[in-house]
Structure 1
């Protein structure tokens, strides 16, 4: 069986830097966009659950093709193996994990 290429896509979204893994990356038919398809998520099941993986799977799990504006893409890398997904604050670069959205009344001013 031929090994399929694996790409790590780092992009900006709503003040955060997100990483996703996908098997397909190409110029989109939509001018100014990059097409990301066949998004890869960790298939392991067990007692340890990665909240970042869960959050990204909830947001992109049913996505067939993601069209990203080229100005929000930070990097596209062809990699040999998949590593844990990361969500970072776009300004500070610190890891951000917010598994559940906070109600507006609970957010700090």
Structure 2
């Protein structure tokens, strides 16, 4: 049985939490990034249209591969089947990793 794997990737981006489904997740060729490929979206034949999923489809339209900064990833799960991708506000208990990663170092007294 040749069953393709499906991954649910949840990550933080610009004050929102993204939940996407993909067929391929790997440590990318870029240091510090997670590479996701072959994003999966729900069927367009559904009668009920979810505005959050439509926004996600529009944002990733034409994207072959996406690189997500490793410190933005909240969770990656291998799942049995895909669900609905969504974008939601980062309220509640989701706290982003302290930013910026790169910056000037604080100077001590007398410097």
Please tell me the TM-score bracket, short chain as reference. Answer: 0.7 to 0.9
Q: Secondary structure at the match of 2:74?
A: strand
Q: 1:41 maps to which residue?
A: 41
Partner of 2:26: 26
Task: Kindly report the root-mean-square deviation, in angstroms, between the aligned alpha carbons of the 2 structures.
Answer: 1.5
Superposed structure 1 runs of 4+ greater than 3 Å apart = none
The CA deviation string for residues 23-52 of structure 1, in whole angstroms up to 9 with x for no partner, is 000011111101000000112414311111
Report the CA distance between 1:7 and its aligned residue: 0.1
Task: List gaps (5 residues or longer) in structure 2.
Answer: 94-111
- Structure 1 alignment gaps of length 5 or more: 94-109
Instruction: Specify the structure having the higher radius of gyration (Cα).
Output: 2
Instruction: Give the paired residue count.
Output: 93
The alignment's TM-score, normalised by the length of structure 2, stands at 0.77
